[in-house]
A and B are shown apart, each in its own frame.
Chain A
Amino acid sequence: MKKGILPKIILVLIFAYLFFPIAATILFSVATRWSTTILPEGYTLAYYQKLFTNPEFLHALLRTVYVSTVTIALSVVLIVPSLYLAIVYYPKLEKFFEFLSILPFAMPGVILAIGLIQMYSRGPLRISGTSWILIGSYFVLILPYVYQATKNSFRTINVKALTEAALMLGCGKLETFFKVIFPNIVRGVVSAALISVSVLFGEFVLANLLVGDNYETLQIYLYKLQKADGHISNALVAAYFLVILLLSLLMIWLTFRKEKLGAKTNAES
């Protein structure tokens, strides 16, 4: 397509730069000894074994899984139906969603945390330091992703026309949403959930400032572990990255299936 070796060299350099730390982390996590040689002197899974049998780690993992699951479920339940209603019945309310999803960009974790700490450290709603405040703040954190992915799915299926057709054919409103609309956007919702999982599993700022030691999440545990045992904490970093890899593969698979499905419906029509 194009002559010249320069683009290839640039790409190789950039990808080497991006993947070198990841490869080294994964390799180091299975190395017995690795100091003065190019490659490790021997391989072992002992660090992973130590990590996965450590009850503190398992508790931190469970807390992160719990908070992420509740947050994602909550934001899907709160956002998907109301965005649907906004698009179909109350188009003016779409601006409100736009505003809600842009605001987090002007208030990153540190700023959000400053406000939340001051609001919820006293008074009747003293939830600072509990998982509740974490769930609330995570809801804001993933709102832009969930909103964008849901909006895109609604746009691809032309949700307004579909709703009108279903209503005209005698479907009830609830039935239309659950039996006609939702099955069509479930893939978009799942991909939003996957993005949210990778965001929430890597979240440190809000957890550290809002709950800290009171509710030790995975990232806080990782931060502490580094001081106690560098090699095991490295295994955790490697495991974290492998999970991200897995989620990315899942997402690729989902979009790939969507394309194939799209091609099939196009061929049929």
Chain B
Amino acid sequence: MTEFSLADANPEALAEREAIAAEPGLWDTLQDVFFGRPSTMIALVVVLLFIVIAVFAPWIAPADPLRQSFLQINKLPTWSHWLGTDQYGRDVLSRLIYGSRNSLIFGLLSPVFAAICGTILGVTAGYFGGVVDRVISRVIDMLMAFPELLLAILIAAALGGSFWNIVVVLTVAFTPGFARVSRASTLAVKQEPYVEAAVAAGVRTHVIIFRHVVPNILAPIVVLMTLWSASSIRIEATLSFLGIGTQPPNPSWGNIIRDGLTNMFATQWPIVSGGLAITIVVLAISIIGDAVRDVLDPETDQ
């Protein structure tokens, strides 16, 4: 991307400055999001707590999540194993703590990748129109007809589960949504006077796209990203539960429940605690997502 100094008093720079002045600063927006409601603050604390747990897992976990012990099979919670042990004698709490790494990383990675791919497709379709638009829209419509989870299961069925495959699966599942939203927003922004001015002034297309179009369609994309990081964690959990996500013996919240279900006659603690972890994180992230949506596009407020 080309750097412009303010000395170039071309219509482009002027239009850009006006566009920026109308928008509230990023910091104000963040403050509105996070300190607006007490529920959002609690949700934020919960998410940060889980991130800290995931990052510092080796220091927090009381035991090695993979270490099996035949003397400690199916123990109910005790002081040495707070959530008991599973059918291989592994410490459930440690597996949950390490599992948060596998579960959270997908929640953060795939929405970002999907946002990048989707925005590229959507902006291309919306900005250039014509045949490009028709082809892209057709494929998006087709993919949108599938619920994300089903799409993810179908792709994972074909690809098989490994770290990068799951990232690809979730990215493909979420891309159509981003593409549709960014296409619609691009069509709206394209009508704005500042874009028309830039086109009339002969600014190169890629500069218009990166300087005028993309910054002005970011709000709905950020909203989708937060909302879908919740879905992403839930879908990864489902895939792991089905045995096509994170592969054992690596722990993830989904496959902890899977292991727990085959062993439910002996101990039910892995099922209950694994599911609670997923539910709490997804709940917290979707509360934050709702708050972000309310601040960034108030019109869609229900």
A binds B: no
Tell me the B residues contacting A by CB distance below 8 Å. Answer: none
Tell me the A residues contacting B by CB distance below 8 Å. Answer: none
